[in-house]
Protein backbone atom coordinates (compact mmCIF):
# COMPACT_ATOMS: atom_id res chain seq x y z
CA UNK A 1 0.00 0.00 0.00
CA UNK A 2 1.29 3.43 -0.91
CA UNK A 3 -0.57 6.65 0.00
CA UNK A 4 -0.96 7.72 -3.65
CA UNK A 5 -3.37 4.85 -4.36
CA UNK A 6 -4.90 4.37 -0.93
CA UNK A 7 -8.26 5.42 0.48
CA UNK A 8 -8.49 5.70 4.27
CA UNK A 9 -11.53 3.48 4.90
CA UNK A 10 -10.03 0.46 3.14
CA UNK A 11 -6.55 1.10 4.55
CA UNK A 12 -7.91 1.14 8.10
CA UNK A 13 -9.01 -2.50 7.77
CA UNK A 14 -5.38 -3.54 7.41
CA UNK A 15 -3.79 -1.31 10.04
CA UNK A 16 -2.05 -3.14 12.92
CA UNK A 17 -4.39 -1.61 15.51
CA UNK A 18 -7.41 -2.97 13.63
CA UNK A 19 -5.81 -6.39 13.29
CA UNK A 20 -5.02 -6.59 17.00
CA UNK A 21 -8.54 -5.44 17.84
CA UNK A 22 -9.95 -8.32 15.78
CA UNK A 23 -7.50 -10.76 17.37
CA UNK A 24 -8.69 -9.66 20.78
CA UNK A 25 -12.34 -10.03 19.85
CA UNK A 26 -11.73 -13.57 18.58
CA UNK A 27 -9.94 -14.50 21.81
CA UNK A 28 -12.52 -12.81 24.02
CA UNK A 29 -15.50 -14.40 22.25
CA UNK A 30 -13.76 -17.77 22.56
CA UNK A 31 -13.31 -17.10 26.28
CA UNK A 32 -17.04 -16.34 26.59
CA UNK A 33 -17.88 -19.68 25.01
CA UNK A 34 -15.34 -21.49 27.19
CA UNK A 35 -16.89 -19.88 30.24
CA UNK A 36 -20.40 -20.96 29.23
CA UNK A 37 -19.10 -24.51 28.86
CA UNK A 38 -17.46 -24.35 32.30
CA UNK A 39 -13.94 -24.67 30.96
CA UNK A 40 -12.80 -21.34 32.41
CA UNK A 41 -14.33 -19.16 35.17
CA UNK A 42 -17.03 -16.76 33.97
CA UNK A 43 -15.38 -14.04 35.99
CA UNK A 44 -12.22 -14.52 33.93
CA UNK A 45 -14.09 -14.02 30.66
CA UNK A 46 -15.76 -10.89 32.05
CA UNK A 47 -12.41 -9.49 33.19
CA UNK A 48 -10.83 -10.11 29.78
CA UNK A 49 -13.56 -8.01 28.15
CA UNK A 50 -13.60 -5.35 30.83
CA UNK A 51 -9.87 -4.67 30.77
CA UNK A 52 -9.13 -4.92 27.04
CA UNK A 53 -12.35 -4.12 25.16
CA UNK A 54 -11.50 -0.43 24.84
CA UNK A 55 -7.74 -0.84 24.98
CA UNK A 56 -5.41 0.74 22.46
CA UNK A 57 -2.84 -1.92 21.78
CA UNK A 58 0.78 -0.82 21.84
CA UNK A 59 2.00 -1.82 18.38
CA UNK A 60 5.61 -0.93 19.15
CA UNK A 61 5.50 -3.04 22.31
CA UNK A 62 4.11 -6.02 20.39
CA UNK A 63 6.81 -5.61 17.77
CA UNK A 64 9.42 -5.49 20.51
CA UNK A 65 8.18 -8.76 22.01
CA UNK A 66 8.02 -10.39 18.57
CA UNK A 67 11.67 -9.53 17.94
CA UNK A 68 12.48 -11.81 20.88
CA UNK A 69 9.82 -14.51 20.48
CA UNK A 70 9.84 -14.58 16.68
CA UNK A 71 6.10 -15.28 16.87
CA UNK A 72 3.46 -12.64 16.22
CA UNK A 73 0.53 -14.25 18.04
CA UNK A 74 2.61 -15.03 21.13
CA UNK A 75 3.84 -11.43 21.10
CA UNK A 76 0.24 -10.21 21.03
CA UNK A 77 -0.86 -12.59 23.78
CA UNK A 78 2.05 -11.48 25.94
CA UNK A 79 1.04 -7.84 25.52
CA UNK A 80 -2.60 -8.72 26.15
CA UNK A 81 -1.56 -10.35 29.43
CA UNK A 82 0.13 -7.07 30.40
CA UNK A 83 -3.25 -5.37 29.97
CA UNK A 84 -5.57 -8.04 31.39
CA UNK A 85 -3.48 -9.37 34.27
CA UNK A 86 -3.67 -12.86 35.86
CA UNK A 87 -6.92 -13.81 34.11
CA UNK A 88 -5.03 -13.74 30.80
CA UNK A 89 -3.95 -17.29 31.56
CA UNK A 90 -7.42 -18.35 30.41
CA UNK A 91 -6.99 -16.73 26.98
CA UNK A 92 -6.22 -18.94 23.95
CA UNK A 93 -6.90 -22.21 25.77
CA UNK A 94 -7.03 -25.11 23.31
CA UNK A 95 -6.48 -22.76 20.36
CA UNK A 96 -3.66 -22.52 17.85
CA UNK A 97 -2.28 -19.44 16.16
CA UNK A 98 -4.02 -20.14 12.85
CA UNK A 99 -7.37 -20.05 14.63
CA UNK A 100 -6.73 -16.39 15.31
CA UNK A 101 -4.86 -15.51 12.12
CA UNK A 102 -7.20 -17.20 9.65
CA UNK A 103 -10.40 -16.06 11.33
CA UNK A 104 -9.04 -12.51 11.48
CA UNK A 105 -8.01 -12.56 7.81
CA UNK A 106 -11.48 -13.64 6.79
CA UNK A 107 -13.05 -10.89 8.86
CA UNK A 108 -10.79 -8.40 7.11
CA UNK A 109 -11.58 -9.79 3.67
CA UNK A 110 -15.34 -9.66 4.26
CA UNK A 111 -15.07 -6.06 5.45
CA UNK A 112 -12.96 -5.24 2.41
CA UNK A 113 -15.53 -6.94 0.18
CA UNK A 114 -18.27 -4.76 1.65
CA UNK A 115 -16.34 -1.63 0.67
CA UNK A 116 -15.65 -3.01 -2.81
CA UNK A 117 -19.32 -3.86 -3.26
CA UNK A 118 -20.21 -0.26 -2.40
CA UNK A 119 -17.58 0.87 -4.93
CA UNK A 120 -19.17 -1.26 -7.64
CA UNK A 121 -22.59 0.15 -6.79
CA UNK A 122 -21.18 3.65 -7.25
CA UNK A 123 -19.74 2.70 -10.64
CA UNK A 124 -22.99 1.02 -11.69
CA UNK A 125 -24.96 4.15 -10.80
CA UNK A 126 -22.67 6.31 -12.95
CA UNK A 127 -22.85 3.87 -15.86
CA UNK A 128 -26.63 3.71 -15.70
CA UNK A 129 -27.03 7.49 -15.68
CA UNK A 130 -24.70 8.04 -18.62
CA UNK A 131 -26.10 5.07 -20.56
CA UNK A 132 -29.62 6.46 -20.48
CA UNK A 133 -28.29 9.92 -21.29
CA UNK A 134 -26.73 8.56 -24.49
CA UNK A 135 -29.09 5.66 -25.19
CA UNK A 136 -29.72 6.83 -28.76
CA UNK A 137 -26.50 8.77 -29.45
CA UNK A 138 -25.21 7.22 -32.70
CA UNK A 139 -21.61 6.00 -32.78
CA UNK A 140 -19.61 3.65 -34.93
CA UNK A 141 -19.02 0.15 -33.69
CA UNK A 142 -15.55 -1.23 -34.33
CA UNK A 143 -14.17 -4.71 -34.75
CA UNK A 144 -10.39 -5.16 -34.98
CA UNK A 145 -10.29 -1.39 -34.41
CA UNK A 146 -11.92 -0.90 -37.84
CA UNK A 147 -15.32 0.67 -38.51
CA UNK A 148 -17.97 -2.06 -38.54
CA UNK A 149 -21.65 -1.10 -38.06
CA UNK A 150 -23.45 1.62 -36.10
CA UNK A 151 -24.10 1.29 -32.36
CA UNK A 152 -25.06 3.88 -29.78
CA UNK A 153 -22.81 5.26 -27.09
CA UNK A 154 -25.47 4.25 -24.59
CA UNK A 155 -25.04 0.63 -25.68
CA UNK A 156 -21.30 0.85 -25.05
CA UNK A 157 -22.06 1.89 -21.47
CA UNK A 158 -24.82 -0.71 -21.17
CA UNK A 159 -22.29 -3.42 -22.01
CA UNK A 160 -20.13 -2.18 -19.15
CA UNK A 161 -23.11 -1.98 -16.78
CA UNK A 162 -24.00 -5.60 -17.50
CA UNK A 163 -20.39 -6.69 -16.98
CA UNK A 164 -20.05 -4.93 -13.62
CA UNK A 165 -23.41 -6.32 -12.55
CA UNK A 166 -21.89 -9.75 -13.04
CA UNK A 167 -18.81 -8.58 -11.15
CA UNK A 168 -21.01 -7.65 -8.21
CA UNK A 169 -22.64 -11.08 -8.16
CA UNK A 170 -19.24 -12.77 -8.28
CA UNK A 171 -17.93 -10.65 -5.43
CA UNK A 172 -21.00 -11.40 -3.33
CA UNK A 173 -20.35 -15.11 -3.89
CA UNK A 174 -16.64 -14.72 -3.11
CA UNK A 175 -17.45 -12.82 0.07
CA UNK A 176 -19.78 -15.59 1.20
CA UNK A 177 -17.21 -18.26 0.39
CA UNK A 178 -14.39 -16.60 2.33
CA UNK A 179 -16.53 -15.71 5.38
CA UNK A 180 -15.62 -18.75 7.48
CA UNK A 181 -14.17 -19.17 10.96
CA UNK A 182 -11.78 -21.79 12.35
CA UNK A 183 -11.38 -22.34 16.09
CA UNK A 184 -10.42 -26.00 15.92
CA UNK A 185 -7.01 -26.19 17.59
CA UNK A 186 -3.83 -27.91 16.46
CA UNK A 187 -4.36 -29.92 13.24
CA UNK A 188 -8.05 -29.04 13.37
CA UNK A 189 -9.40 -32.02 15.36
CA UNK A 190 -11.02 -30.02 18.23
CA UNK A 191 -9.10 -32.31 20.60
CA UNK A 192 -8.35 -29.44 23.00
CA UNK A 193 -11.39 -27.23 22.35
CA UNK A 194 -15.12 -27.83 21.98
CA UNK A 195 -16.60 -27.25 18.49
CA UNK A 196 -19.26 -25.11 20.17
CA UNK A 197 -16.58 -22.50 20.84
CA UNK A 198 -16.02 -22.18 17.10
CA UNK A 199 -19.76 -21.85 16.48
CA UNK A 200 -20.00 -19.08 19.08
CA UNK A 201 -17.03 -17.15 17.70
CA UNK A 202 -18.34 -17.52 14.15
CA UNK A 203 -21.71 -16.03 15.08
CA UNK A 204 -20.09 -13.20 17.01
CA UNK A 205 -17.75 -12.31 14.13
CA UNK A 206 -20.34 -12.59 11.37
CA UNK A 207 -18.85 -15.76 9.88
CA UNK A 208 -19.75 -19.41 9.38
CA UNK A 209 -17.83 -22.33 10.94
CA UNK A 210 -15.34 -23.91 8.53
CA UNK A 211 -16.56 -27.52 8.00
CA UNK A 212 -13.03 -28.96 8.14
CA UNK A 213 -10.08 -26.71 8.73
CA UNK A 214 -7.14 -29.07 9.35
CA UNK A 215 -5.06 -26.37 11.06
CA UNK A 216 -5.83 -23.67 8.52
CA UNK A 217 -8.88 -22.58 6.61
CA UNK A 218 -8.52 -24.11 3.10
CA UNK A 219 -6.93 -21.61 0.74
CA UNK A 220 -9.12 -22.46 -2.24
CA UNK A 221 -11.56 -20.02 -0.64
CA UNK A 222 -9.01 -17.23 -0.70
CA UNK A 223 -7.86 -18.14 -4.20
CA UNK A 224 -11.40 -17.66 -5.45
CA UNK A 225 -11.67 -14.34 -3.61
CA UNK A 226 -8.52 -12.91 -5.18
CA UNK A 227 -9.35 -14.42 -8.57
CA UNK A 228 -12.64 -12.56 -8.42
CA UNK A 229 -10.79 -9.32 -7.72
CA UNK A 230 -8.60 -10.09 -10.73
CA UNK A 231 -11.61 -10.54 -13.02
CA UNK A 232 -13.09 -7.27 -11.76
CA UNK A 233 -9.78 -5.56 -12.53
CA UNK A 234 -9.88 -6.96 -16.07
CA UNK A 235 -13.39 -5.59 -16.58
CA UNK A 236 -12.16 -2.21 -15.39
CA UNK A 237 -9.29 -2.33 -17.85
CA UNK A 238 -11.65 -3.17 -20.69
CA UNK A 239 -13.70 -0.05 -20.01
CA UNK A 240 -10.60 2.07 -19.41
CA UNK A 241 -9.10 1.02 -22.74
CA UNK A 242 -12.36 1.87 -24.54
CA UNK A 243 -12.19 5.39 -23.13
CA UNK A 244 -8.50 5.73 -23.96
CA UNK A 245 -9.15 4.76 -27.59
CA UNK A 246 -12.12 7.12 -27.86
CA UNK A 247 -9.96 9.98 -26.57
CA UNK A 248 -7.31 9.59 -29.29
CA UNK A 249 -6.92 12.80 -31.28
CA UNK A 250 -8.02 11.13 -34.53
CA UNK A 251 -11.19 9.82 -32.83
CA UNK A 252 -12.11 12.20 -29.97
CA UNK A 253 -15.58 10.79 -29.36
CA UNK A 254 -15.19 10.95 -25.58
CA UNK A 255 -12.64 12.43 -23.21
CA UNK A 256 -11.71 12.40 -19.55
CA UNK A 257 -12.75 15.56 -17.75
CA UNK A 258 -9.94 18.12 -17.80
CA UNK A 259 -10.12 20.45 -14.81
CA UNK A 260 -9.19 24.12 -14.63
CA UNK A 261 -5.47 24.39 -13.99
CA UNK A 262 -4.76 20.77 -14.93
CA UNK A 263 -1.62 20.18 -17.00
CA UNK A 264 -1.24 17.43 -19.59
CA UNK A 265 2.47 17.57 -20.30
CA UNK A 266 5.56 19.16 -18.83
CA UNK A 267 6.81 19.88 -22.35
CA UNK A 268 3.70 20.41 -24.51
CA UNK A 269 1.12 22.84 -23.10
CA UNK A 270 -1.58 21.70 -25.53
CA UNK A 271 -1.79 18.12 -24.24
CA UNK A 272 -4.93 16.59 -22.66
CA UNK A 273 -3.99 13.01 -21.87
CA UNK A 274 -6.18 10.10 -20.64
CA UNK A 275 -4.08 9.77 -17.49
CA UNK A 276 -6.84 8.45 -15.24
CA UNK A 277 -7.80 5.53 -17.46
CA UNK A 278 -4.12 4.80 -18.13
CA UNK A 279 -3.64 4.71 -14.36
CA UNK A 280 -6.59 2.33 -14.01
CA UNK A 281 -5.03 0.06 -16.64
CA UNK A 282 -1.79 -0.08 -14.66
CA UNK A 283 -3.55 -0.71 -11.34
CA UNK A 284 -5.59 -3.51 -12.94
CA UNK A 285 -2.34 -5.24 -13.84
CA UNK A 286 -1.27 -5.14 -10.20
CA UNK A 287 -4.55 -6.59 -8.90
CA UNK A 288 -4.30 -9.45 -11.39
CA UNK A 289 -0.69 -10.05 -10.35
CA UNK A 290 -1.91 -10.97 -6.85
CA UNK A 291 -4.05 -13.81 -8.22
CA UNK A 292 -1.11 -16.12 -8.93
CA UNK A 293 0.27 -16.25 -5.35
CA UNK A 294 -3.29 -16.77 -4.08
CA UNK A 295 -3.64 -19.78 -6.37
CA UNK A 296 -0.25 -21.11 -5.30
CA UNK A 297 -1.23 -20.74 -1.62
CA UNK A 298 -3.83 -23.49 -2.03
CA UNK A 299 -1.22 -26.26 -1.94
CA UNK A 300 0.10 -26.48 1.64
CA UNK A 301 1.95 -29.37 3.27
CA UNK A 302 -0.22 -31.89 5.14
CA UNK A 303 -2.40 -30.16 7.76
CA UNK A 304 -0.58 -26.85 7.34
CA UNK A 305 2.58 -24.91 6.70
CA UNK A 306 3.12 -21.15 6.54
CA UNK A 307 4.29 -20.76 2.95
CA UNK A 308 1.03 -18.87 2.34
CA UNK A 309 1.48 -16.47 5.24
CA UNK A 310 4.07 -14.06 3.86
CA UNK A 311 2.24 -13.76 0.54
CA UNK A 312 -1.10 -13.08 2.21
CA UNK A 313 0.35 -10.34 4.39
CA UNK A 314 1.00 -8.45 1.15
CA UNK A 315 -1.74 -9.50 -1.25
CA UNK A 316 -4.57 -9.08 1.27
CA UNK A 317 -4.13 -5.36 1.81
CA UNK A 318 -2.53 -4.54 -1.54
CA UNK A 319 -5.16 -6.17 -3.77
CA UNK A 320 -8.14 -4.75 -1.88
CA UNK A 321 -6.68 -1.28 -1.39
CA UNK A 322 -5.63 -1.04 -5.04
CA UNK A 323 -8.97 -2.23 -6.39
CA UNK A 324 -10.86 0.10 -4.07
CA UNK A 325 -8.90 3.09 -5.32
CA UNK A 326 -9.24 2.09 -8.98
CA UNK A 327 -12.99 1.44 -8.78
CA UNK A 328 -13.57 4.87 -7.26
CA UNK A 329 -11.40 6.48 -9.90
CA UNK A 330 -13.31 4.72 -12.68
CA UNK A 331 -16.67 5.78 -11.25
CA UNK A 332 -15.45 9.38 -11.26
CA UNK A 333 -14.22 9.08 -14.85
CA UNK A 334 -17.63 7.84 -16.04
CA UNK A 335 -19.52 10.42 -14.02
CA UNK A 336 -17.56 13.33 -15.51
CA UNK A 337 -16.82 11.85 -18.94
CA UNK A 338 -16.98 14.41 -21.74
CA UNK A 339 -18.96 13.00 -24.68
CA UNK A 340 -18.88 14.47 -28.20
CA UNK A 341 -21.90 13.31 -30.26
CA UNK A 342 -20.93 15.53 -33.21
CA UNK A 343 -17.59 13.78 -33.51
CA UNK A 344 -19.31 10.41 -33.22
CA UNK A 345 -21.51 11.34 -36.17
CA UNK A 346 -18.53 12.68 -38.10
CA UNK A 347 -16.69 9.39 -37.62
CA UNK A 348 -19.81 7.45 -38.59
CA UNK A 349 -19.82 9.32 -41.90
CA UNK A 350 -16.09 8.97 -42.60
CA UNK A 351 -16.41 5.88 -44.78
CA UNK A 352 -19.05 7.31 -47.08
CA UNK A 353 -21.77 4.89 -46.09
CA UNK A 354 -19.73 1.68 -46.09
CA UNK A 355 -21.08 0.86 -42.63
CA UNK A 356 -24.34 -0.13 -44.36
CA UNK A 357 -22.70 -2.76 -46.58
CA UNK A 358 -24.31 -5.72 -44.81
CA UNK A 359 -27.80 -4.31 -45.32
CA UNK A 360 -27.13 -4.00 -49.04
CA UNK A 361 -25.72 -7.54 -49.11
CA UNK A 362 -28.84 -8.95 -47.44
CA UNK A 363 -31.17 -6.91 -49.64
CA UNK A 364 -29.52 -8.31 -52.78
CA UNK A 365 -29.90 -11.90 -51.57
CA UNK A 366 -33.53 -11.28 -50.75
CA UNK A 367 -34.05 -10.10 -54.32
CA UNK A 368 -32.60 -13.27 -55.82
CA UNK A 369 -28.84 -12.80 -55.96
CA UNK A 370 -26.70 -15.62 -54.61
CA UNK A 371 -24.78 -14.71 -51.48
CA UNK A 372 -21.49 -15.10 -53.33
CA UNK A 373 -22.59 -12.75 -56.13
CA UNK A 374 -24.11 -10.28 -53.68
CA UNK A 375 -20.90 -10.16 -51.65
CA UNK A 376 -18.84 -9.64 -54.82
CA UNK A 377 -21.05 -6.78 -56.01
CA UNK A 378 -21.05 -5.01 -52.66
CA UNK A 379 -17.30 -5.40 -52.17
CA UNK A 380 -16.65 -4.24 -55.73
CA UNK A 381 -18.33 -0.94 -54.94
CA UNK A 382 -16.94 -0.69 -51.42
CA UNK A 383 -13.25 -0.86 -52.28
CA UNK A 384 -13.14 2.40 -54.28
CA UNK A 385 -14.78 4.19 -51.34
CA UNK A 386 -11.97 2.91 -49.12
CA UNK A 387 -9.58 4.61 -51.50
CA UNK A 388 -11.55 7.85 -51.34
CA UNK A 389 -12.97 7.42 -54.85
CA UNK A 390 -16.63 8.22 -54.43
CA UNK A 391 -19.70 7.67 -52.30
CA UNK A 392 -20.91 4.14 -51.61
CA UNK A 393 -24.60 4.74 -52.27
CA UNK A 394 -23.89 6.60 -55.50
CA UNK A 395 -21.59 3.87 -56.78
CA UNK A 396 -24.21 1.22 -56.04
CA UNK A 397 -26.87 3.18 -57.93
CA UNK A 398 -24.54 3.45 -60.92
CA UNK A 399 -23.76 -0.28 -60.98
CA UNK A 400 -26.06 -2.00 -63.46
CA UNK A 401 -25.42 -5.40 -61.88
CA UNK A 402 -26.76 -4.03 -58.59
CA UNK A 403 -29.72 -2.13 -60.02
CA UNK A 404 -30.75 -5.31 -61.80
CA UNK A 405 -31.90 -6.42 -58.32
CA UNK A 406 -32.52 -3.16 -56.42
CA UNK A 407 -34.12 0.13 -57.43
CA UNK A 408 -32.51 3.41 -56.42
CA UNK A 409 -35.17 3.83 -53.72
CA UNK A 410 -34.48 0.34 -52.40
CA UNK A 411 -30.74 1.06 -52.31
CA UNK A 412 -31.32 4.32 -50.45
CA UNK A 413 -33.52 2.50 -47.95
CA UNK A 414 -30.53 0.39 -46.87
CA UNK A 415 -28.74 3.54 -45.65
CA UNK A 416 -31.20 4.33 -42.85
CA UNK A 417 -29.12 4.83 -39.68
CA UNK A 418 -32.12 4.36 -37.39
CA UNK A 419 -32.59 0.82 -38.68
CA UNK A 420 -29.61 -0.27 -36.59
CA UNK A 421 -31.15 1.02 -33.37
CA UNK A 422 -34.56 -0.63 -33.50
CA UNK A 423 -33.69 -3.06 -30.70
CA UNK A 424 -31.83 -0.68 -28.39
CA UNK A 425 -34.83 -0.55 -26.04
CA UNK A 426 -34.91 -4.35 -25.93
CA UNK A 427 -31.26 -4.47 -24.90
CA UNK A 428 -31.79 -1.74 -22.30
CA UNK A 429 -34.72 -3.63 -20.79
CA UNK A 430 -32.57 -6.73 -20.55
CA UNK A 431 -29.73 -4.86 -18.88
CA UNK A 432 -31.51 -2.26 -16.74
CA UNK A 433 -35.02 -3.68 -16.40
CA UNK A 434 -36.45 -0.65 -18.21
CA UNK A 435 -35.88 1.39 -21.33
| Dihedral-angle region of residue 339 (phi above 0 means left; psi in -120 to 50 means alpha; beta otherwise) | beta
Distances (CA, A) of 132 to 135, 240, 315, 435: 5, 20, 37, 8
126: helix, coil or strand? helix
Q: Mind giving me the DSSP string for 385-400?
A: HHTT-S-HHHHHHT-H
Angle at 280 between CA 251 and CA 263, to 5 degrees: 65
According to DSSP, the residues that pair with 209 across neighbouring strands are 181
The one catalytic residue among 12, 265, 307, 370: 265
The pair phi, psi for residue 74, each rounded to 5°, is: -60, -40
Angle at 22 between CA 297 and CA 90, to 5 degrees: 105
Beta strands 180-181 and 208-209: pairing type? parallel
36: helix, coil or strand? helix
The one catalytic residue among 143, 144, 259, 266: 144
| DSSP designation for 370 | -
Q: Give strand ranges (E) for 13-71.
A: none
Torsion sign, CA atoms 289, 11, 62, 74: negative
Interior/surface letters 226-244, b for 16+ CB within 10 angstroms, e for the rest:
bbbbbbbbebbbebbbbbb
**Residue in 158, 171, 155 with CA at minimum distance from that of residue 120:** 171
Catalytic residue flag (residue 98): no
140: helix, coil or strand? strand
Catalytic residue flag (residue 356): no
Does residue 115 contact residue 9 with C-beta atoms inside 8 Å?
yes
Cα–Cα distance between 262 and 246 in angstroms, integer? 20
Does residue 183 contact residue 201 with C-beta atoms inside 8 Å?
yes
Which positions are catalytic?
A: 144, 265
Amino acid sequence: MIPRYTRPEMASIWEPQTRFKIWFEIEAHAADAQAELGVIPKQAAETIWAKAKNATFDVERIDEIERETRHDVIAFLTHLAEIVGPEARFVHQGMTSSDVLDTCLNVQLTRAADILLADIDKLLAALRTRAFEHKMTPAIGRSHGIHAEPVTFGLKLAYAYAEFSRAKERLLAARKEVATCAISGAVGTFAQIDPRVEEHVARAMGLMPEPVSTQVIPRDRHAMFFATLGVIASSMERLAIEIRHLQRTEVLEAEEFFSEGQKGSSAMPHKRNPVLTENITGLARMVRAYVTPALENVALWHERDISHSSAERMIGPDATVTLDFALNRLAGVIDKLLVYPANMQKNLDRLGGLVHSQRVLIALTQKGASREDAYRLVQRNAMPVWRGEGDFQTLLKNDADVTKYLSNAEIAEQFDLGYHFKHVDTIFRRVFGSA
